[in-house]
Chain A
């Protein structure tokens, strides 16, 4: 599977995540629940395309975020993420 060798990054999840969040979250700081790495969501390694997306910590490969969008329901699994901090636009 080429995906394993060459993942995309969280930038490519911006569109799918925009269905759920009121602000862009690719610039949000994500703290990895396993190793404590802090970095923009855009810097996480993205696996999958289409309805199911998995974002892994680039340091320890722990899944920080899973997004499953069935069209009617969006499932977000954040169990590998200790914290996500989003800077919102002021107006």
Chain B
């Protein structure tokens, strides 16, 4: 796929072909997008909703799936007073149509040719593009080493938990460290509290390994983690960030 050949992007009609609850506040929608050209891990789509009176709302959602024909999965977290996310979670049904533009983005992307060890750091639904990266990586014959540090409020809010644990158990699977910010389980092998430098050192690679870091989640989360990585000696041009917006929950 060469993105140059695809532009300009046009709005297409996508059909919801499956809906999977992930956590009490998160669901995955699998869309069938006729003519989908394929995508790179980390890219996103823009969704456009138009009301009967012509009012429009556009939002971006990361692609969570690896390339799989014309099927594209997005994972949506509820923003309680939000305009679009509650609609996607509560009102959209299998066989409904949505307007979509994509695949989009050429910066927060990963492909196998990047080569370097991968450090992925996600807060909340910021794990969606990381899942696309990990799923794409799992299809590779010789994947680079990968580690994921993933912050959630509590255990019930960990998205993709079973699949992630399954990946870890596989040969060449990623190493994963979960951290919880709002729960302290009695039995817990992960970390507790917000992502900090100690956690990043525990799970990360030494900067001399020239790792490639991807950070995604709520804006304050991304800014803090990126600053910590720089302080730990990671090269700034090796830290790719994507801000999802103002959630302060993770």
> Chain A residues in contact with chain B, CB under 8 A?
2, 5-12, 14-15, 18-19, 21-27, 40-43, 49-50, 88-91
Contact = CB atoms under 8 A, between A and B. Distances in A.
Nearest to A88: B4
A26 B4 contact: no
B107 A42 contact: yes
Interface of B: 2-5, 7-9, 44, 46, 56, 58, 60, 101-102, 104-108, 218-220, 240-246
B242 A15 contact: no
B107 A8 contact: no
Given A24-B3, A89-B5, 9 more contacts: A6-B246, A8-B244, A11-B242, A15-B58, A22-B4, A23-B4, A24-B7, A24-B106, A49-B58
19 contacts: A7-B219, A7-B243, A8-B243, A9-B241, A9-B243, A11-B60, A11-B108, A11-B242, A12-B60, A14-B104, A15-B60, A18-B7, A18-B8, A19-B9, A22-B8, A24-B104, A25-B106, A27-B107, A89-B3
Contacts of A40: 107
A49 B46 CA distance: 12
A52 B56 CA distance: 14
B102 A15 contact: yes
- Listed from nearest, the 4 A-B pairs whose CB atoms lie closest are A24-B106, A42-B107, A6-B246, A89-B4
Contact of B107 (A5, A41, A49): A41
Nearest to B11: A15
A24 B101 CA distance: 14
Nearest to B3: A24
A11 B243 contact: yes
A9 to B, nearest CB: 5
B238 to A, nearest CB: 12
Nearest to A41: B107
B46 to A, nearest CB: 4
